[in-house]
Amino acid sequence: MSFRNYRLQLLLRIVLLGASIYALAIVGPGQYYRGTFLGLLVFIVLQIILLVYFHERTNRQFLRFLNSIKYDDFTENFHVTGEGKVQNQLALGLNDVVKKFREVRAEKEAHLHYFEVIVQHIGIGIITYKPTGEILMLNNAAKKLVHLAQAQTIADLQKVSPELVLGLQQLESGEKMLVPVRQSGEQANLTVHVMELSLLGDKVRLASIQNIQRELEEKEMEAWHNLIKVLTHEIMNSVTPIASLSASASEEVSSYTDTDAEEVTILREELDDVRKCLQTISRRSDSLIRFVNDFRNLTSISVPQKSVFKVGELLHEIKMLMREQLASQKVRLTVEIPAEDILLSADRTLIEQVMINLVKNAVEAVHENENATITLQAYLDERSRARLVVKDNGHGMTEEAMQKIFIPFYTTKKTGSGIGLSLSRQIMRLHQGNIAVNSKLGEGTAFMLSF
């Protein structure tokens, strides 16, 4: 409606100007109508000035409006002057738009303040910085962790830990690392997780930092407790009979050495008892030696010699290696891999050792099933990380067994050392990977290797 009124007023002014020019042409600069001619000429000039002013008045309001947007100044107010319906409606419309901009900016500022309060309040350290090292934001938790009230660049954290600076500079997006630091004379372990994102076309790196020293100490203590229980149990099981039987054998021998030579008549049954005691001592001593050797294996894994290989080829080779054992146990093994084979950078020998151990465990788990099946799977997860899975349809395991399955020397089998899965976890940790188990009683078990 307002634009139609504007066109009508503009048209009327143009028609009036045209009529005035036409009248001026009729009157002409003659002698008799000179006064009229001059009057019309002044009137025409005045109309032209008013027409230009009328047109530019609207433009000036639009220019003020555009400048308020350009300079982010939404305090501008367009007054209703009462000079016409068109101008009044235009002023009201511009005021409404400016008010809307003002409300949107206030809402965005409120949200920004809200998220800033959250970031400053959380207990995890947050650092955002440019790839050049310039720090954009350092929240309160991060300041406490690095013991700095302010930092301008990543290099300012050098005094806290050179490893921390190196990690922030070199970690790829999505990678993590553990950084040991000394804080006020105490040891601390900081876990650093770096993500890279794009903000208005510029790359920004976001690092989360958390002190997990307490969690590590609790896990370490728990591991020591489990190890001490195992060591105490195994060693005492061997040492107790050795000590007892050694004492018995010593008493038997002493009872004869104290008698006269003429009266010594060694009975065959007593000699047999001594022989059996000594055999038992030898057997338990050998068992103790094997236990110690198994324990040594847990701490003597070589550093992985990584190379790039195809996962599909590895799985098919394992299937060929296990073919005879699988056939004798009447177990069917299938391999499931994607159409395009997965390339993996790892120590092939160590990974093959882990997979063979898992397959052997699966064979023992399904040997009582009529339709015994083992499946080897390989795929890439949503973050393009390789995952290898060994799945069986055996009897499964309890929740308690799943929690203890990776403890050294823990086993659910009648025969077994209980170090296979512990070695597998050690190997995966050396690859910065992980091994996990998922099982339900009566539904089978799946072991997953994540790289």
Q: Name the more confident of 374 and 149.
A: 374
Domain spanning 307-450: CATH superfamily:
Histidine kinase-like ATPase, C-terminal domain (3.30.565.10)
CATH, range 122-211: 3.30.450.20
Domain ranges within the chain, ordered by starting residue = 2-108, 122-211, 216-298, 307-450
How confident is the model over 231-252, as a mean pLDDT? 64
Whether 122-211 and 307-450 share one fold: the answer is no
30: helix, strand or coil:
coil
How do residues 80-122 score in pLDDT, each as one tens digit?
Answer: 655 556 667 777 777 788 788 888 888 888 888 888 888 888 8
Is the pLDDT assigned to residue 388 strictly greater than 90? yes
Q: Name the more confident of 279 and 451.
A: 451
How confident is the model over 207-211, as a mean pLDDT? 88
How do residues 309-341 score in pLDDT, each as one tens digit?
Answer: 999 889 988 888 888 888 888 889 999 988 777
- Given a contact cutoff of 8 angstroms between Cβ atoms, the answer to whether 405 and 419 are in contact is no
Read off the DSSP letter of residue 155: G
* pLDDT number for residue 2: 47
Identity of the residue numbered 12:
L
pTM score > 0.75 for this model?
no
Phi, psi of 384 (to 5 degrees): 60, 30
- Given a contact cutoff of 8 angstroms between Cβ atoms, the answer to whether 355 and 333 are in contact is no
- Given a contact cutoff of 8 angstroms between Cβ atoms, the answer to whether 441 and 395 are in contact is yes
Assigned token pair, 303: 């550093």
Closest alpha carbon to 83 in 107, 118, 42, 54: 54
DSSP structure string for 112-141: HHHHHHHHHHSSSEEEEE-TTSBEEEE-HH
Closest alpha carbon to 270 in 286, 246, 253, 257: 253
- Given a contact cutoff of 8 angstroms between Cβ atoms, the answer to whether 311 and 377 are in contact is no
Identity of the residue numbered 74:
F
- Given a contact cutoff of 8 angstroms between Cβ atoms, the answer to whether 194 and 203 are in contact is no
Closest alpha carbon to 210 in 188, 192, 194, 196: 192
Cβ neighbourhood burial of 131 (10 Å; 0-12, 13-18, 19+): exposed
Query: What number of other Cβ atoms are within 10 A of residue 23's Cβ?
Result: 14
C-alpha to C-alpha distances, 24 to 16, 30, 32, 46, 67, nearest whole angstrom:
12, 11, 13, 14, 42
Identity of the residue numbered 251:
E
